Amino acid sequence: MSISPHDKEKLKVLYQALQERPLDPAVEQDASWYVPYMQQEHHRSDPIIEIFDEISFSESESLHYVTGQRGTGKSTELLRLRQELDRSGIKVLYVDMLKYLHMAEPAEISDFLLALSAGLAEEAGKNHDLIIEESFWEKIKVFFNRLEIEKAAIKTSLELPAIKFGADLVARLKADDTFKRQLQQLTCGYTSELVEQVHAFSRLLVQKLRDKCKNPDLQVAVIVDSFEQIRGYYGNVEDVHKSVVRLFGADGKHLRLPMLHTVIAVPPYLSTATDAGLLPVSLPSVHVRQYRSGKPDEDGLNVLLRMVYRRSPDAREIFTDKTLRELAIASGGDIRDYFLMVKAVLVKAGSQLVTGFPVDDDLIQQAKYKLFNSLMPVDDFSSRWLFKVHQSKQMELGEQDDLSDLALLFDRHLVIHYRNGKDWYDVHPLIEHYVMERQQELDGRAAQQQG
């Protein structure tokens, strides 16, 4: 006998409530679902409020970086920052870089600033009723026309009206990796002039907002989200990582936009890149285990349980504390992985020839196994690195040339960042046993060869 339609609807409601998207505290339903964990006492301070205070304490422009692995709720926390800034009277423009920039190719200061400017212009018009987009793109057209180098990559676009030129440029920046590379070559050697165009636009934007609000001292902030998701594919991974280090290192001075408080989400490996010299505010995963001992941390586990229970009144009927706790431990505190396993259980429960709740333990094991498979395979080089991370609770970055390898460990969630009074790292719980066993095999093999 299959599960009843009424019970299946309960599964569907909870499944949809757990879809991967940021929560906006300005939206009533999202606010009711939000569970604070950055603000808890053991973190000693709230990193989002730290940024808020730095912005509100600054007299003029400022630049801030936020980092964290996918699954730590960065976008949700950045939306909370937007709400805090807005409440204090600071105007906020929110730019999601996924809408404006190709995220699987190397990034240069030229395409980053053009994409950011496009987002600012659109945000200013959509949410602040400022019509300044056309004048900006007209100036960029003039800039490109004056370049004394081959312009074949954008000749067609230059014939378009300013707005259509801008729309075409942004669309191709986001979707056409060949065009992006051509644009980078086109502007090489002309960075300073392009930067000045963007900085002039920044000043105009702030002045227009001040005039509109009739407040000559109005503070304006821009939150640049999702750029931490830039990552290469097979063959260009190292080039992408080097370009990001260069963007926030040698070219980072150009990112301080005049009269704007700028907050940018950056990849987690940048905090270890000496060439970049960054000290970003880092958002850790939920602390579901204790430093060194690895024992479950009840405070962190309860945070993850509440994240599910708040999404649906039927969640407590579908799951027991015990089953959700097991999934929370298996996630390593990664919210994204946790939700993936919970949703996998819901889908399996909907297809089972059983009646009633709560779901049984077999479905929990199937969900854990599914996530484990998504983390595999782990090659021997990575396995050795992960073993050292597990032993030392540090990132174990030996040389800066190994930064791309570390970035991949972060991107694949094989290494998880925690903060229980101090920052530390460990391997994902679901692969811990594999890593330990594999290291023993590799050590045994090495001993045989030496013998």
Residue 293 token pair: 């001992």
Domain ranges within the chain, ordered by starting residue: 5-19+286-355, 38-282, 380-450
pLDDT value, residue 333 = 95
- Looking only at the bridges linking them, the beta strands covering 261-266 and 220-225 are parallel
Would you mind telling me the total number of residues written for the chain in this entry?
Answer: 451
Residue that is written with structure tokens 């805090």 in the block: 84
Percent share of the chain, pLDDT over 90: 62
User: What gap in Å lies between CA 334 and CA 428, rounded to an integer?
Assistant: 9
Q: What are the E-state strand segments in 141-255?
A: 220-225
**Which pLDDT tens digit goes with each residue over 95-154?**
999 999 988 899 999 999 999 999 999 999 999 999 888 888 898 888 888 775 555 566
- Do 197 and 140 touch, CB atoms closer than 8 A? yes
CA atoms within 13 A on the CB side of 49: 9
CA dihedral 260, 264, 269, 271 (to 10 degrees): 30
Q: Would you call the peptide bond into 258 cis, given omega within 30 degrees of 0 as the criterion?
A: no
pLDDT value, residue 261 = 97
pLDDT value, residue 204 = 95
User: What gap in Å lies between CA 207 and CA 327, rounded to an integer?
Assistant: 51
Q: Mean pLDDT, 10 residues at a time, over the chain (451 residues)?
A: 83 96 94 86 73 91 90 92 96 96 91 94 91 87 73 68 87 86 83 93 96 96 95 84 90 94 92 63 91 90 97 96 98 96 94 77 95 96 96 86 85 90 92 96 89 63
pLDDT value, residue 417 = 93
pTM: 0.91
pLDDT value, residue 148 = 55
pLDDT value, residue 450 = 81
pLDDT value, residue 41 = 47
